[in-house]
Structure formats: C-alpha cells, structure tokens
Amino acid sequence: MKRLNTTSPQFATELKAVLARRGEQSGSVAEPVRAILADVQKRGDEALCDYTERFDRLALTPDQLRISEAEIRETADRVAPETKEALALAAERIRAFHEAQLPRDLDYTDDAGLRLGMRWTALDAAGLYVPGGKAAYPSSVLMNALPAHVAGVRRLAMCVPTPDGVLNPLVMEAARLCGVTEIYRIGGAQAVGALAYGTQSIAPVDRIVGPGNAFVAEAKRQVFGHVGIDSIAGPSEVVVVADGSNDPRLVAIDLLAQAEHDEQAQSVLITQDEAFADRVIAAVEEELKTLPRAKIARRSWEDCGAVVIVRSEDEAAEVVNEFAPEHLEVLLDDPRAFSRKVRHAGAIFMGRFCPEAVGDYVGGPNHVLPTSRTARFASGLSVYDFLKRTTSIETDMEGLKKVGPAGVILAREEGLDAHAMSLSERLKQG
C-alpha cells in the first residue's frame, strides 16, 4: 500500500505512479489476448476447447460448450429457497431501476414544417460476460441480463467460465430468473472472441457487455469496432473518502471488499485525519488475519492500495477526480455536498450506512461500472447499452423550400455537385 500526502513535493509524481500501476498490469496482457483472439477467429470451437482446458481445467468437446437446458434446471434447483428469495428481491430492484431509464422517442414538427424523429430500437443480439474465475457472480447475471431484457434485446448469449467444470447453482438460477437460456461454459479472452467473431457453434453478437478480469477487459477493448462494447469494466476499484468519525474497522472492511475481488483490484482511502488513516491501516491488517480471501486481498492492498492524506474536502474531491474511480464511498457528514464536487466516478455511495456492497447486490443501479479511470468518459451498464437510435426526417415541398436553398449553398461549398443537384432539382419542381 502506498501512503501519499498532498503536502509532499513529490505528491503529483507519486499519485501518477499509483494511477499508472493498474494500467501497467492491464497493458501486459495485450499481446496474449491478441494471440487468443486471433486463434479463436482461426480455429473457432477447437480453440475454445483448448483454452478452456488450459485456463479452466475443463476438457470439452464442441458440442459440450453450451450448457444444456436440463443442466441449467437441475443445477438451479439446488438453490435454497431463502437464497432464491434474496435473488428475486435483487432482481426486482435492478429491473425497476432500469425500467426507469427507458428513454422516450422524439417526434415533432418544427417551425419550417419538417417532421423530425428519433426512435430507440433494441439490439438484435447481446453477449453477456459473467465472470467466474476467482469467484462466482450471480449478481452480475442480473446486472447484465435485466437491462438487456428491459431494453427488448431478442437474443442473449451468456458466457461464464466454470473452473474445473463446476456449475454455480445460483448463477444458473439467476440466468433462469432472467430467461437466459443460451449459456456457454467459457471465459476469458476466448469467450469474448467467440461472441465477437462467432465460431462453428456460437453465433456472433452485436455488442458484448459485462465485467471481467484484465484479460476480459483487454479482449473487449480489442474487439471493439467489430462489435460494440459497454465499457472497460475490469478489476474492481473503490475510493473511500472518510472523516475521523467513522469506525476504522468498517472502513477497512469496505477497502477489503474490493481488494478481495482480484489481486489487481484497487482500494484507496482519502482522509484529512492522519491518525484515523493509521487506525484504518491497522484494522486492514487485523481483518486480513481472518478474511477467507486474504491471499487475494493482501496482494491487491499491498500492490495497488493507497492512502492519501489531504488538507481539505476540496483537495479530496480533486484527488477523487484524478482517480475517476469505479466506486466512490463518501463517509462524511454531508455526503451530498461532497458528491457535487465529483465530476468523475462510476457510482457514488453516500452516507455512513451505504457501503458499496449495497450497490453490488440490492441497490438497483448497475454494478458493471467503468474502471481504470475510464469513468472520465464512460458510464456504468444501463438500458442505453442495449439500445441504439435511428433519426428520421420527413418533409414535403413546402418544408424543402424553407431549408433546401441553404443546403444547396453548403453542398456547393463542399464541392459536392450531386448533393447540390439532389436538392436544387427538386426545388425546381416546387
């Protein structure tokens, strides 16, 4: 863990190093990912089976790539009733939030008499990536599938790695709850390649969404253009802005809640109170003694974690904007006032009783969020990722007479005579 202080003359350089740390890690996977994607394009199912054996220790034949409906049903049936209820509550809240996002079409006639429109239509096919290497993510099934469903996507193809061939019952139950039936037991860059380019047994999709580790995030980046992607939702991050009146143990647990996802996850504490920072650091060590995923969490905390001491809330907000974190927890007396100073963050959690884990499961907003500072220009997964817009213009001769002559002038200025004539020849008929 790096400890930084804004009063230090080296602060800017040190902050840059902390920010670069994760970028360096994801950069190092670019070449292996390129090779995997090329191989999937070339060899299709055969490559998928080889990589699944290599990375997930599961030997498959092409006809076993897809999880059968009977397997989904039988595995999902093993989920305990109270767990199903918890999942249903989460699904209901997530669905409601995403339904509230549905945008309206535009259709109006302007002063010149032109009827202008913009219509939202759903994608035909979306690929949902559900991570599964180091942990199983039933919640990510809901976060991926429900917005797609609300948007009206016709085909949903889900990929989830099943290390050692183990299907997670709650992942299967979440898929069943969301009506997802096309599920492939593959992960990593090879799954992204299959969804993007298609293979003998997997039809390509139009857009790939969902979170994943550095390999998945890099693969999505590389296939972008061939298909759409939502955002780069890689290893998790949290920035916690906290004052000294917080319980240091709770803050430590919140930091570890991201660190336990991945060795490359990043947890950062920003505070004005140095003594409080010391107490949080000590509490992290204490919790690591008993945390079941301590091995992953310690690596993340030691390699990517940071504590930043600032002089004011304004300075804290500036540092937050530099991190542009996936998640921001604001544990201050007036979290709303602080959050108004934040320009870049995937999601903000306000108040001492609103840890980020609320958003992971049961808040309602999506937990698939932009990482690695991409919150500067990207947003979390939403119904908009499954929709696109088509605009329309309709006019008669009266409308054309009002706007056409200006179009003729602009077309001639661009030296595009057929464009000019397409307008002027019609205007002659008026």
Is 213 marked within a binding site? yes
Q: Which of residues 352-371 bind ligand NAD (CB under 6 A)?
A: 367-369, 371
Residue with token string 């179009």: 407
Is 419 marked within a binding site? yes
- Binding-site partner at residue 279 among ligand NAD, Zn ion, ligand HSO, none, CB < 5 to 8 Å by type: none
User: Could you give the C-alpha distances from 215 to 53, 264, 327, 376, 416, in angstroms and in order?
Assistant: 16, 12, 21, 22, 46
In the annotation, is 344 catalytic?
no
**Between 326 and 355, how does the x/- string for binding to ligand HSO read (CB under 6 A)?**
x-----------------------------
Residues that bind Zn ion (CB under 5 A): 360
**Between 136 and 155, how does the x/- string for binding to ligand HSO read (CB under 6 A)?**
-x-xx---------------
- Least distance between ligand NAD and beta carbon 414 (Å): 44
Is 272 marked within a binding site? no
Is 429 marked within a binding site? no
Check: CB of residue 213 under 8 Å from CB of residue 192: no
**Between 213 and 232, how does the x/- string for binding to ligand NAD read (CB under 6 A)?**
x-xx----------------
**Between 315 and 354, how does the x/- string for binding to ligand NAD read (CB under 6 A)?**
-----------x----------------------------
Question: Rounded distance, CA 12 to CA 158, Å?
Answer: 42
Question: Rounded distance, CA 284 to CA 306, Å?
Answer: 12
- Least distance between ligand HSO and beta carbon 35 (Å): 27
Question: Rounded distance, CA 420 to CA 403, Å?
Answer: 13
Radius of gyration of the chain (CA): 25
Check: CB of residue 187 under 8 Å from CB of residue 55: yes
Check: CB of residue 67 under 8 Å from CB of residue 184: yes
Task: Please say which residue, 231 or 339, places its beta carbon nearer to ligand NAD.
Answer: 231
What is the amino acid identity at position 88? A
Question: Rounded distance, CA 390 to CA 201, Å?
Answer: 32
- Using CB under 6 A as the binding rule, whether residue 367 contacts ligand HSO is answered as yes
Nearest Cα to Cα of residue 251 among 231, 273, 229: 273
Is 384 marked within a binding site? no
What SS3 class is residue 394? Answer: strand
Question: Rounded distance, CA 420 to CA 413, Å?
Answer: 9
- Least distance between ligand HSO and beta carbon 168 (Å): 12
- Give 319-331 as a DSSP string: HHHHH--SEEEEE
- Using CB under 6 A as the binding rule, whether residue 135 contacts ligand NAD is answered as yes
Which of 127, 138, 211, 404 binds ligand NAD (CB under 6 A)? It is 211
User: Could you give the C-alpha distances from 125 to 105, 146, 149, 411, in angstroms and in order?
Assistant: 21, 14, 11, 38
Question: Rounded distance, CA 139 to CA 149, Å?
Answer: 15
Task: Please say which residue, 45 or 360, places its beta carbon nearer to Zn ion.
Answer: 360
In the annotation, is 260 catalytic?
no
Q: Which residue in the list 263, 326, 329, 356 is annotated as catalytic?
A: 326
- Using CB under 6 A as the binding rule, whether residue 140 contacts ligand NAD is answered as yes
Nearest Cα to Cα of residue 235 among 146, 157, 162, 131: 131
Q: Which residue in the list 98, 263, 313, 327 is annotated as catalytic?
A: 327
| Residues binding ligand HSO (CB under 6 A) | 137, 139-140, 236, 326, 360, 367, 369
Catalytic residues: 326-327
Q: Which residues are annotated as a binding site for NAD(+)?
A: 129, 190, 213
Q: Which residues are annotated as a binding site?
A: 129, 190, 213, 236, 258, 261, 327, 360, 414, 419
Q: Which residues are annotated as a binding site for Zn(2+)?
A: 258, 261, 360, 419
